[in-house]
Amino acid sequence: MGEIIAIASQKGGVGKTTTSVNLGASLSYLGYKTLLVDVDPQGSIATSFGYGRYDIRAGILEVFTKNVPIKECIHPTEMDLFHFIPSNVWSDEVDRKSLIGASSNTILRSALQEIIDQYDYIIIDCPPSLGNLTFNALIAAHSMIVPIQCEYYALKALGRFLKMTRKLKIEHNPDLRYRGFLLTMVDMRNNLSKRVINKVRYTLQGLVFETMIPRNVRLAEVPFYGKPAFLIDKTSKGAQSYLNLAEEVVKHENVPLETEESEQTAIVAA
Ligand SMILES: Nc1ncnc2c1ncn2[C@@H]1O[C@H](COP(=O)(O)OP(=O)(O)O)[C@@H](O)[C@H]1O
Ligand SMILES: [Mg+2]
């Protein structure tokens, strides 16, 4: 049975989508069959694989609103072991509203159970909010990766997110584990970046991935080329950092729930 990992954070622009696409590609490069699921109604995962409006058969929107079987929403990528399900951003506004307002928290969990045996990893790219879709993702997931952009207010936003996920864990998904917090858009020439890294590592300790994702132009170019950074330029720092992350993900067990103490410190520190 595969592991379902949600890439989540309540902030937009922190690198969730970039992490989902490039971590997924790296896991499949390492030989793991991987599915990427886009649950952001504004999501652009399809573009990251060079798909346009008329190339999409059905996406997560149809799973939520029209009971389309999830199997029918799976699309191939250039890499044999890497598939994706788009959110289908091109659907009309009414459908999109009903997706955001979906009343059940467990639609995604039930849908993914139908295909979980076909994959080693299922990665869910979450929207930048704590609404119904992120809830669906975190209730479906076994674990989560939380990207933290290296900026001044990073820990403040994190405190709110941790409070929410703690409540969700208690009420809906007691088995949810942290895979780790991931420092993104790191610029080691910048003193602020260094200060944020130190503070995040001090506060969250072993919960932070060793691998840090640098600010790198190849990563920003993914939607432009319609392929993961790894296929644009394997030697780029961006591609290599996500390969390192994938190796770390494969190597480490999920962090068990004695994370409570670090979590509490983070909430207080924020
Ligand atoms: N490590 C990085 N280096 C350079 N640009 C990045 C990096 N990570 C993300 N970006 C760019 O920053 C923007 C936001 O990233 P994205 O992954 O879409 O964030 P989110 O999904 O959290 O909203 C995008 O334009 C993306 O291309
Ligand atoms: Mg995104």
Per CATH, the homologous superfamily of domain 3-269 is P-loop containing nucleotide triphosphate hydrolases (3.40.50.300)
- Span 29-87, pLDDT tens digits: 999 999 999 999 887 899 889 998 889 989 998 898 888 999 999 999 999 999 999 99
Cβ of 127 below 6 Å from ligand 1:
no
- Span 148-189, pLDDT tens digits: 998 877 777 788 888 888 889 999 999 999 999 999 999 989
Pocket test for ligand 1, best of 18, 39, 181, 212 (most atoms within 8 A of CB): 18
Cβ of 115 below 6 Å from ligand 1:
no
Q: Vertex 128, ends 16 and 198: CA angle to 5°?
A: 55
Nearest residue (by CA) to ligand 1, atom 16, is 15
- Span 91-135, pLDDT tens digits: 666 556 666 666 688 999 999 999 999 999 999 999 988 788 899
Q: How confident is the model at residue 192 (pLDDT cuts 50, 70, 90)?
A: confident
Instruction: Output the CA 220–ligand 1 centroid distance in Å.
Output: 6
Where do the domains of the chain lie?
3-269
Phi-psi region of 209 (alpha: psi -120 to 50; beta: other; left: phi over 0): beta
User: How far apart are the C-alpha atoms of 261 and 264, rounded to whole Å?
Assistant: 5
Cβ of 185 below 6 Å from ligand 1:
yes
pTM confidence score = 0.93
